[in-house]
Amino acid sequence: MSDAPELPKSEEEEEVTPEPEEQSDDSSEGEAAGDEDMDFLRSLFSRTLGLDSADKVLDELTLEGVARYILSGKCDATFKTNVLLCLLFIAAGIPDFRSPGTGLYANLQKYNLPYPEAIFQIDYFKKHPEPFFALAKELYPGQFKPTICHYFIKLLKEKGLLRRCYSQNIDTLERVAGLEGDDLIEAHGTFYTSHCVSFCCRKEYNLDWMKEKIFSDDIPRCDKCSSLVKPDIVFFGENLPVRFFTSMKMDFPRCDLLIVMGTSLQVQPFAGLFMFSWDAVLHHLCLCLCVQADPLFGLLGFGGGMDFDSDKAYRDVAHISTCDDGCLALADLLGWKAELEEMVKREHDRIDSQDKKEKAGESKGATAKTSSASVAPEPKKEE
């Protein structure tokens, strides 16, 4: 910066007023995003401090009130329902990750890991893929059945009421239950597809290809470049799917009912979903179907502003039970219980029948292979 004094302007000099510059589209979008953030904060503080009032969404803050809300037609084909779910694999017989003694992290000693989470660390996987694929063999999709919760979500779809199911599960049970790719946001990825880990290749492989490799105890390698092939589940050190972020901006402002099942909303990324949707679903309904050792597990005053039992409560409902029992109870109030139970029985019978056929085929193939190996080759005839 110069220390020279400023020269006085000549009277003849005309001051030039700069023309206002046109704002770029990026600038406009940034301002719009800023306005949305400010609206969100104003709404959040107003609601938290009790400076604003809201009309009650339900005639009664109970599961019965939720059922009447759904049957009233307010969850129509335009707005529909968002479902957030996590930990449903426990009811399906799949162990969770962190439960002391029974969780996956408590039973990984045989893999000689430096620390339990290393089995899902992308850098560790690239150097030592064997532990992950050994564990994957124990937990592989196809060995477990969808729960009542999964089929309740499928029923919502059949009734034309499901906008999207956001899941943190990686077991593909939502797909087994009948949901399709467009119905799902698999926030932590899925076993349904796999990709070569090489950025220069990224060849895709399907579920059957990966299953064959895992159950034959082969480390999956790319047919094209020989790099490792990894199921499309999100490891520590990897980004969440882009679709998770783009879809939530569209889905949450367009839902009338948010059903949260099996997650405390205290772990990211789902902890941020309700905060993101607070203003969007301000006048809509949130139903939590949950079971934990500590029933309200911090949801009161946490989880993005849910309010179940204060004097200001006007929309949120907590139903404390197992997720399956909660879905059955809601289905009963909606008049869907018999339909749901019949769907579960029919689909489980179908899965059992399919498993028997596959096992019979595998057994027959193994027997034929053993017989072929046990037959001594005929000696060559001398000419």
What DSSP assignment string belongs to 58-104? SSSSSHHHHHHHHHTT-S-TTT-EEEEE--GGGTTT---SSSTTTSG
User: Is 188 one of the catalytic residues?
Assistant: yes
CA-nearest of 249, 376, 257, 254 to 316 is 257
323 is in an annotated binding site: yes
Which DSSP string do the residues of 198-220 spell out, in sequence order?
-TTT--EEEHHHHHHHHHTTPPP
78 is in an annotated binding site: no
Kindly name the residue from 188, 195, 283, 319 that is annotated as catalytic: 188
Q: Give every CB contact of residue 173 below 8 A, 6+ residues apart in sequence.
A: 88, 89, 92, 141, 144, 145, 146, 147, 150
98 is in an annotated binding site: yes
97 is in an annotated binding site: yes
Q: How many CA atoms are closer than 13 Å to the CA of 16, on its beta-carbon side?
A: 3
Q: What is the pLDDT of residue 136?
A: 85
**Cβ-based neighbour number of residue 186 at 10 Å:** 25
pLDDT along the chain (383 residues), means of 10: 45 45 47 51 47 65 89 67 52 56 60 83 93 83 81 93 86 91 90 93 94 92 96 90 86 80 70 56 57 39 59 80 90 97 96 84 62 53 51
217 is in an annotated binding site: no
The domain segmentation of the chain, as residue ranges, is: 54-93+146-186+245-355, 95-143+189-233
CA–centroid distance for 98 within its chain: 18
CA-nearest of 71, 67, 91 to 148 is 91
290 is in an annotated binding site: no
Q: What is the pLDDT of residue 374?
A: 52
* Same fold yes or no, 54-93+146-186+245-355 and 95-143+189-233: no
- Work out the burial of residue 285: count CB atoms within 10 Å of its CB; fewer than 13 is exposed, 13-18 middle, 19 or more buried: buried
Q: What is the pLDDT of residue 276?
A: 53
| CA distance to 235, 287, 295, per residue, from 262 (Å) | 21, 12, 11
Q: Are 327 and 152 in contact (CB under 8 A)?
A: yes
**How far apart are the C-alpha atoms of 160 and 153, rounded to whole Å?**
11
Domain 95-143+189-233 class, CATH top level = alpha beta
**How far apart are the C-alpha atoms of 169 and 86, rounded to whole Å?**
6
Indicate the SS3 state at residue 297.
coil
Q: What is the pLDDT of residue 6?
A: 45
Strands of 272-332 (E only): list them. Answer: 285-290, 316-320
81 is in an annotated binding site: no
Sheet arrangement for strand 204-206? 204-206, 189-196, 229-233
Q: What pTM value is reported for the model?
A: 0.72
264 is in an annotated binding site: yes
Q: How many CA atoms are closer than 13 Å to the CA of 206, on its beta-carbon side?
A: 1
Q: What is the pLDDT of residue 29?
A: 45
Q: Are 252 and 273 in contact (CB under 8 A)?
A: yes
Q: Helices (H), strands (E): how many in the chain?
A: 11, 9
φ, ψ for residue 233, nearest 5 deg = -90, 150
Indicate the SS3 state at residue 153.
helix
Structure tokens at 326: 């909660």
From the candidate CATH numbers 3.30.70.260, 3.40.50.10320, 3.40.50.1220, 3.30.460.80, the one assigned to the domain spanning 54-93+146-186+245-355: 3.40.50.1220
**How far apart are the C-alpha atoms of 131 and 115, rounded to whole Å?**
12
170 is in an annotated binding site: yes
Say what angle helices 337-374 and 323-334 make with each other, to 10 degrees: 130
Give, rounded to a whole angstrom, the gap between the first and last alpha carbons of the chain: 104
Which DSSP string do the residues of 257-282 spell out, in sequence order?
EEEEES--S-STTHHHHHHHHTTTTT
Q: Are 265 and 271 in contact (CB under 8 A)?
A: yes
163 is in an annotated binding site: no
